[in-house]
Structure 1
Amino acid sequence: MCGIICSLHVGCSSCGDIDNIRGGPDEAFRELSERLKVANAARGPDAQGSHHVRIQGTCPGEAQATNENETCTLDLEFFASELRLRGDAPIVQPHEQDGDVFCWNGEVFEGLAVNADENDGVKLFQSIHSLSAMDDLPFLLGKIEGPYAFVYYHAASRKLYFARDPLGRRSLLIHKPSVSNPYFLLASVSIGDDQGCIMEELSTEGIFCLDLGKLRESNGVAQNFDSSLTCISRHTGQETLPFAKLSRVNTALPPDAPPLVLSLDPAILPYDLAIAVDHLIDHLDRSVMLRVENIPRKPSSEKGKAQVAVLFSGGIDSTVLAFLAHRYLDAILHFGVSYYFVFSRHVPLDEPIDLLNVAFENPRKIQVQTDGNIGAIPKREKKRQLKAAETNGIVKESTSYMVPDRVTGLQEVEELRRICHGRTWNFVEVDVPYEEFQAARAPVEAIMFPGRTVMDLSLAMALYFASKGAGRVRFSSASNDYQPYTSTARVLLNGLGSDELLGGYGRHRTAYATRGWQGVIDELQLELDRIPTRNLGRDDRVISSHGKETRHPFLSLTVVSFLAGLPVHIKLDPRLELGLGDKMLLRLAARKVGLLEASVRKKKAMQFGSHSARMEAGEAERRGDLMIRTVAEA
């Protein structure tokens, strides 16, 4: 994980884009740049560096007619901070060779050979730098899988290339020059709603190229920026590139009245469904392995501390990921008449795995508990949850923090302890008092920007406090012996993507009710199309503000391709009840690996499961698309 910035502004005494008077626009730009560096440095606490490139030329403005020595200078600055999650030592970015400059914020998991002691950014820079022509860049990127955002300056052509991966798993924001703010900015995270820069998410539609030579020759950066910027397609018809674009959802309709799966018992499944279950386990297992292996281990003095954590609600998605992070690859090797079993654990068995579970003190929910339960969880369901918690040996807690995700989390960690022998599971209870929520509101709004809806805030708050990992642990659910605990893990596994790919939302059932299987197919395609524009950039900005990195095993492009290609009735069956038909394939996989309780968990949205949503009575009626106040309104 890194924080990267690229800034471009003009130094010219006659064009008027930027003057050099102390305290004028140039000074304001420098102040803005420093604030951006502070925000982006938080993403990479292990190393920071910067590099300047100045492109000089004759001024194209009116001054050229009177003074042939008049010059305009394009001032490029590259800044990067580094969170070391690859290689033997921190790598100071930006990478630079022969005038080329590269800022990399990403992870290469497939398509480029990177040894455990190597850095993927260094290897990728070498690959790009050795290209015979920059026209080959889409071919190179189309063969690698992993989340990324990057900026690359090609000195020979004076062109700047920048992009995010096709799913948009890493944040990259862009400020386009305007008359009032005539400079160009790219940054992993902004400083919030600020008049000095209008940041927006960079599109994932292609690889962008800014022609700086053309821009320098034009009369003003703001006036000619759009004509100097092009978008290069990620793929061509000449070669199949496995990771150049998102796969399309299988459009084949199921046979008339496909058989109903009335049980999650893997022993009685139809053949095609049983094969799909095995393949899903294999794909997810490999995806998790790639995301937890080769993390630089801590010195011996810090042995026994977690390197990997799971954002853990106790639901099926996070539980499956936790189980797969623990499990081992097993294989049988045959040599003559002898057989050997090979076991290789993804996370070493002597290393704990942290399960980060967040709960908010929600005054509105507490008021409901006092005055009645109108609009909240039905009383019978609440009683059922609390009774189940007591039955499983979970001690009674203050109702302020016994939120739905805490109840299911405490239940599910016990299932993991029963079936994952020898592993220490640190169930980290992150309790957020209302006052702490209020104090964090302004900084979280700044970090998540340009996300700015009420729903953005609810989700961002849950991720912000969960990923911080500061709470308490108890080593059995029946114990009152708490200890303060702060997670040391810098790699966080996130179950995002399973609902979109496997049909876990209520709208998939609605689509079936109104338009049959074709409606479900259309809805799944819509889900896949909008993944790059929804949560991922915001989530990356929020979690990485703690110097940590989130990884999404369900959103490996290999896993996405596999699931998109399956027939719709293999993935879900909206004819069946909740807890069975939604995400049916994943439920069957969970049951097969032994996660009996997790396999029947029902969907809970994070903001409702943690009680981060609608913290005050006035917010209960506010919709998710209602805008948060702007700076001007505040």
Structure 2
Amino acid sequence: MCGIYCSIAATGHHVDAEVFQALSQPLKSANGARGPDAQTSYTFRLPALRRNPSEGQARGTELQIEFFASELLLRGHTAVVQPHQKEGDVFCWNGEVFEGLDIGPEENDGAKLFARLRLDCTVDSVPGLLGNIEGPYAFVFYHSSSEKLYFARDPLGRRSLLLHRPSPSFPYLLLSSVSAGNHPAYQFEELSTESILCLDVGRMRQSNDVVKGFDGSLSIIPRRALAAKFAEISRVNTALPPKNLPSLDPFGCGACPEAWSDAVNELVAHLDRSVMLRVKDIPFQFGQGRKARVAVLFSGGIDSTMLAFLAHRHVPGDETIDLINVAFENPRKIQVQLGGKSDMLPKRERKRYRKVADGGTTSYLVPDRITGLQEVEELRKLCPGRTWNFVEVDVPYEESLAARSGVEAVMWPSRTVMDLSLAMALYFASRGVGRIRSSPSECYQPYTSHARVLLNGLGSDELLGGYGRHRTAFTARGWGGVIDELQLELDRIPTRNLGRDDRIISSHGKETRHPFLSLSVVSFLAGLPVYLKLDPRLDVGKGDKTLLRLAAHKLGLVEASARKKRAMQFGSHSARMEAGGSERRGELIIVSPVDL
């Protein structure tokens, strides 16, 4: 995990140097928080062109280009300083290569990619190389001899990269992993994942107008045009089930039904390999001993439980695995439980309500806490000898209010009410400050998770039909409607949550990894016939994500296999915190974003 930043600005009268420095410094600082192990910058200028030697008069624009990158050490034992530089070529890499390029435990994937890019850098070769690697990434690469700047995100958008296009008011280019909030001097947009972009910087500096020069020098290379294994997201299998497909309850017998047997085995194999690739070879942190290297964002639901169980297979047995479970003190929920008072509860009353005899707090017995406590016991029975740290992250209302402005700044340009609810939950979960105890009879001890790799179950609902809208689509349009809805889910993944989640979690110097969103797993699940993935004719808890439930049941996760879907913001009570009955729809824009 890294933070990357690149700026291209005209020198001289076009952009005030002090103003631009005041703009770029907060962005570099925000990117530095993503990679605390090493960080540096590299700046150079491209002079304006001249008409001819006799005239000596410059035309075009002199450009100053700055690259900044920070490094979070997750491979090897020595941080590799970025930006990578050689003979004028510059590479900023924020990603992980899990397939398609052999990377040894002590090798740096960014350095290896940089070497490959320098060997053969053309408008055709760069997209081809990237299309054959699997893993989350965002990058910026400057090729000096051609004066071209390439930049992109992976096809699923698992890593953030924001773009500010030059405009008449703000005539400079900015690329950054993260923003510093709603700043008046930039207009960030999330970079599209559909293409790889190439900016002809040499052509751009020929123009006296940076804005027109940028618009006329940018090439878009669509991923769909590439014949490469990991160039784009697979399409959903459109084959309809037989019209007389029987409605069978696959959980009604002991063994996995034959119709699903092969698909279950293949899902376990694909997901197991995906988890293995994401938890192996993570270095121990200096000074942290053998504390947990891997944590799971853990609700006790089927997705996070499957990841925890499979991580157990590949993390050495003498190491702990942290299961991070977040719960918010929600005044609105407390009001309902105390009789529906209409005014905000006084502080002293909230404190009184929180106190219970065993030293715990009923305010934090949210749905995800209850299922998490139940599920960790199932894991302990199935995995004897493994130490599972069930990390209870309790967030008082006052603390969530105090953190809100900072969370809004980091998640920008995402800015809906739902964005904030999810971002708050991820912010406190990834911070990992909470408490643990080995059993209900033991006393709590303060605990902070130092695991830098956080496994996240996002993607299973989209791929396997876990949302209520899949059942609605079946009711309205049959199996064809379900197939259409699953394709929409895949199409929306790159534009919905992942960039925002990456910005939030990485602000703590940690990295989220999504085993369900390996492009290999996505390809396998997209290619399966729809009736093997879900059956909306069955009850909730059976007909949604049927294949995953069968896989969990087969592995012994019987309780987890039957749990119903619950959105993170509702399971943790991070949503709708305003007391007094305030209702705000999730898609509404936050009306007072952070201004810096």
What range is the shorter-chain TM-score in? over 0.9
* Match of residue 418, structure 1, among 381, 386, 391: 381
Partner of 1:502: 464
Instruction: Please say if residues 152 and 162 of structure 1, whose CA atoms lie closer than 8 Å, have aligned partners that are also in contact.
Output: yes
State how far apart, in whole Å, the 1-side matches of 2:54 and 2:509 are.
Answer: 52
Equivalent residue for 1:170? 159
Aligned-residue CA RMSD (Å): 2.1
Work out whether residues 139 and 234 of structure 1, in 8 Å CA contact, stay in contact via their aligned partners in 2.
no
Of 244, 248, 269, the match for 1:282: 269
Q: How does 1:116-515 map to 2 (within 5 A)?
A: 116-131=105-120, 133-236=122-225, 240-264=227-251, 267-298=254-285, 302-327=288-313, 346-372=314-340, 397-476=360-439, 478-515=440-477
| 217-226 or 538-547, which deviates more | 217-226
Give yes or no for contact 2:61–2:207 (8 Å, CA) kept in 1.
no
Please tell me whether the aligned partners of residues 266 and 274 of structure 1 are also in contact (alpha carbons under 8 angstroms).
no
1:226 deviates by 1.5
Letter in 1 for 2:9: H
Q: Displacement, 1:224?
A: 2.9
CA distance in 2, matches of 1:360, 1:59: 63
Q: Which amino acid aligns with 1:613?
A: A
Which amino acid is the alignment partner of residue 536 of structure 1? L
Q: Which residue of 1 aligns with 2:352?
A: none
Task: Choose from 559, 569, 590 the match for 1:607.
Answer: 569
Q: State the 1:233 CA deviation.
A: 2.2
Corresponding residue for residue 485 of structure 2: 523
**Per-residue deviation at 1:179?**
1.1
1:449-476: CA deviation from partner (whole Å, max 9, x where unpaired) = 0000000000000000000000000111
Farther-moved stretch of structure 1 (135-144 vs 512-521): 135-144
Q: CA deviation at 1:214?
A: 1.1
CA contact (8 A) 1:261 1:269 kept: no
Equivalent residue runs for 1:66-105 within 5 Å = 68=57, 72-105=61-94
Shift of 1:69: 5.1
Amino acid at match of 2:567: A
The answer (yes or no) to whether the contact 2:6–2:175 under 8 Å persists in 1 is yes
SS at match of 2:446: strand
The whole-number CA distance in structure 2 between the counterparts of 1:177 and 1:85 is 34
> Residue 384 of structure 1 aligns with which residue?
none
Structure 1 residue 618, shift from structure 2 partner:
5.9
Distance 1:139 1:356, change over 3 A: same
Which residue matches 2:510? 548
Q: Deviations over 1:26-62 (max 9, x none)?
A: 21111111111111000000000111121112379xx
Question: Do the aligned partners of 1:316 and 1:598 also contact (CA within 8 Å) in 2?
Answer: yes
Cα deviation for residue 573 of structure 1 reads 0.4
More divergent stretch after superposition (478-487 vs 551-560) = 478-487
Whether contact under 8 Å (2:284, 2:290) holds in the other structure is: no
Quick one: distance in 1 between partners of 2:521 and 2:55?
A: 63
1:633 to 1:558, Cα distance in 2 relative to 1, 3 A = closer
Q: Secondary structure at the match of 2:585?
A: coil
3-state SS of paired residue (2:550):
helix
1:54 aligns with 2:48: no
Structure 1 residue identity aligned to 2:319: E
Q: Which residue is 1:387 aligned to? A: none
- Secondary structure, counterpart of 1:150 in structure 2: strand
Post-superposition shift, 1:271?
2.9
**Equivalents in 1 of 2:454, 2:121: separation in Å?**
38
% identity of equivalent residues: 66
Residues 404-446 of structure 1, C-alpha deviation per residue, up to 9 Å, x if partnerless? Answer: 0000000000000000111000000000000000000000000
Q: Deviations over 1:366-400 (max 9, x none)?
A: 001011599xxxxxxxxxxxxxxxxxxx9794221
Aligned to 1:5: 5
Aligned residues of 1:265 and 1:588 also touching (Cα < 8 A): no
Q: What count of residue pairs does the alignment treat as equivalent?
A: 581
2:61–2:208 Cα contact (<8 Å) kept: no
**1:534-558 deviation per Cα after TM superposition (whole angstroms, max 9, x unaligned):** 0000000000000000000000000
The code of the aligned residue for 2:522 comes to V
Gapped runs of 5+ residues in structure 2? 343-356
Q: 1:71 to 1:142 in 2, by over 3 A?
A: closer
Question: Separation in 2 of the partners of 1:623 and 1:557?
Answer: 33
Q: Deviations over 1:315-358 (max 9, x none)?
A: 0000000000002xxxxxxxxxxxxxxxxxx1111110000000
The answer as to 2:104 corresponding to 1:115 is: yes
2:278 alignment partner AA: R
Structure 1 pair 98–321 and aligned structure 2 pair: CA distance change class (3 A): same
Change (3 A) 1:632 1:166: closer
C-alpha distance in 2 between matches for 1:59 and 1:495: 56
Q: Which moved more, 1:395-404 or 1:346-355?
A: 395-404
CA contact (8 A) 1:88 1:118 kept: no
CA 1:572–1:65: 2 relative to 1, 3 Å: farther
Distance in structure 2 (CA, Å) of the matches to 1:287 and 1:416 = 20
Shift in Å, 1:98: 1.5
2:3 corresponds to 1:17: no
1:38 maps to 29
Cα distance change, pair 615–595 in 1 and its aligned pair in 2 (3 A): same
Where do 5+ consecutive residues of structure 1 fail to align?
19-24, 328-345, 375-393
